Amino acid sequence: MAHVNAAVPGAREFYPLNEPAIGTHLAGEQPELFKPIEIKGVTFKNRIFVSPMCQYSSSNGHATDWHFVHIGGFATRGAGSICMEATSVVPEGRISPEDAGLWQDSQMAPLQRIVEFCHSQGTKIGIQLCHAGRKATTYAPWIKAKTGHGTSWVAQADENGWPDNVYAPSAIPWSEKYPNPKMMTEQDMQYVEDAFVLAVKRCKKIGFDFIEFHAAHGYLMHEFVSPLSNTRTDQYGGSSLENRLRFPTRVLERIRQEWTDKPLFVRISATDWAEGPEKSEDGTWLQWGIEQSILWVEKMLSLGIVDLVDCSSGGNWFKQKIGPVIDGKIVPGYQVPFAEAMKKAHPSLIVGAVGTIDDPMVAESYLKDGKADVVSLARGFLRDPHWVLRAAKTLGCTVKAANQYERAWH
Ligand SMILES: Cc1cc2nc3c(=O)[nH]c(=O)nc-3n(C[C@H](O)[C@H](O)[C@H](O)COP(=O)(O)O)c2cc1C
């Protein structure tokens, strides 16, 4: 019998074939984190997902080799899923001038190269489609840090920004450091909705395994659903929850019409973290919170427009007070109670937990206790791209390492 270093079939270059795929459980008791999960016909080999992370490194919205290496590194190290960063469907919907985009065909090729590489390593990959709304045209974090406190964070026209072309549900800036948005007209909404659909068509051609709809962190869709950022008096806003949900739900419906047979994830912020309750005693909604989040997801489920809800929080209220805090630090897993509440309300829904998840034992306990179905990590993966392999070691099982890296794990 010939012993050949077999290639990944159909890949554009020679890559040794990993069998089974990197990050697949091999031996020892199988922790929940390493049980595959099927979502709308797509099987994820484990439940450790890479959370979307802006890199502020795109060239006019085009992914570069930075993204190839950054994302590729997670694919060669066993993540169950990778979600590419917030990717804007129109140029002025970018958070910073160097953010990712999918508003033109030329942006497809570098993404396709990344997707094909991830697939060659047996890793599922999706993309987070986004519009930053009133939080657009701001500096990358390390540039923001240089400006010092008390100054504007708005990237001006001579800094590749577009401060005069920022719009939102209502003309309310996020803070004095942010741009002054114009109130969106029906025409603006239609234009954004159509841009989402065009981006989805491109995702199909590229071959992404799933799409995540960004409805969190104070960006456009979150701005629509929250009464703090949406004070419109027409059918798209104000105190009526139904009105505030109308536009984001309509966009999701259009996405689903186009993205019929693959998973559609939605990332929500489950609270604005503003002071006071979500609802007043007379039943008026005062801020966005878990109660409305559950109702919105109920609507999504009834329309068949969501396959996984990722429960994040905050980002829409400048004076947000995130908690609980112990010794000046936000407690690990502070957003998990939102995932748990969502799961309790909709037991058959696949729910993701995210936020300060780093200890594999604790992550495992969230799944074991039924608080969530998958966990997403961002900074944990930046600190340690080998998080999946390390988690397996901590949990006392063996998972497949890349052939090329196996000697590090025996
Ligand atoms: C560098 C960086 C970039 C981020 N970019 C995005 C993004 O594009 N979209 C998003 O929804 N969240 C973004 N986030 C938030 C993360 O996805 C995640 O929800 C948050 O960091 C909490 O998870 P963690 O404690 O594991 O980092 C970003 C976080 C970091 C650290």
3-class SS string, 257-322: HHCCCCCEEEEEECCCCCCCCCECCCCCECCCCHHHHHHHHHHHHHHCCCCEEEEECCCCCCCCCC
Contacts of 146 (CB under 8 A, 6+ apart): none
What's the pLDDT at 147? Answer: 84
The radius of gyration computed from the CA coordinates of the chain, to the nearest angstrom, equals: 21
Strands 37-39 and 25-27: unpaired
Give yes or no for a contact between 124 and 115, defined as CB atoms under 8 angstroms apart. no
pTM to 2 decimals?
A: 0.98
Angstrom distance (rounded) from CA 10 to CA 30: 31
CA count, 13 A, side-chain hemisphere, 70: 22
Tokens coding 324: 């609980």
Smallest CA separation from ligand 1 atom 3, residue: 53
pLDDT of the chain along its 410 residues, tens only?
A: 799 999 999 999 999 999 999 999 999 999 999 999 999 999 999 999 999 999 999 999 999 999 999 999 999 999 999 999 999 999 999 999 999 999 999 999 999 999 999 999 999 999 999 999 999 999 999 998 888 777 899 999 999 999 999 999 999 999 999 999 999 999 999 999 999 999 999 999 999 999 999 999 999 999 999 999 999 999 999 889 999 999 999 999 999 999 999 999 999 999 999 999 999 999 999 999 999 999 999 999 999 999 999 999 999 999 999 999 999 999 999 999 999 999 999 999 999 999 999 999 999 999 999 999 999 999 999 999 999 999 999 999 999 999 999 999 98
Backbone angles phi, psi at 126, to 5 degrees: -130, -175
What's the pLDDT at 128? Answer: 99
What's the pLDDT at 146? Answer: 87
What's the pLDDT at 151? Answer: 85
Beta bridge partners of 37: 44
Pocket of ligand 1 (CB under 6 A): 51-54, 85-86, 128, 214, 216-217, 267, 312, 354-357, 377-380
What's the pLDDT at 149? Answer: 72
Give yes or no for a contact between 15 and 120, defined as CB atoms under 8 angstroms apart. yes
Q: How far is CA 260 from the centre of its chain?
A: 20
Question: How far apart are the CA of 14 and the centre of ligand 1, in A?
Answer: 33
What's the pLDDT at 69? Answer: 98
What's the pLDDT at 313? Answer: 98
Q: Best of 49, 50, 53 to mutate for ligand 1, by most ligand atoms within 8 A of CB?
A: 53
What's the pLDDT at 371? Answer: 98
- Domains belonging to the chain, first-starting first, are 25-408 (3.20.20.70)
Smallest CA separation from ligand 1 atom 14, residue: 53
Number of H-type helices and E-type strands within the chain: 11, 17
What's the pLDDT at 150? Answer: 76
Give yes or no for a contact between 98 and 56, defined as CB atoms under 8 angstroms apart. yes
Residue type, 190: Q
Question: How far apart are the CA of 405 and the centre of ligand 1, in A?
Answer: 27
Beta bridge partners of 39: 42
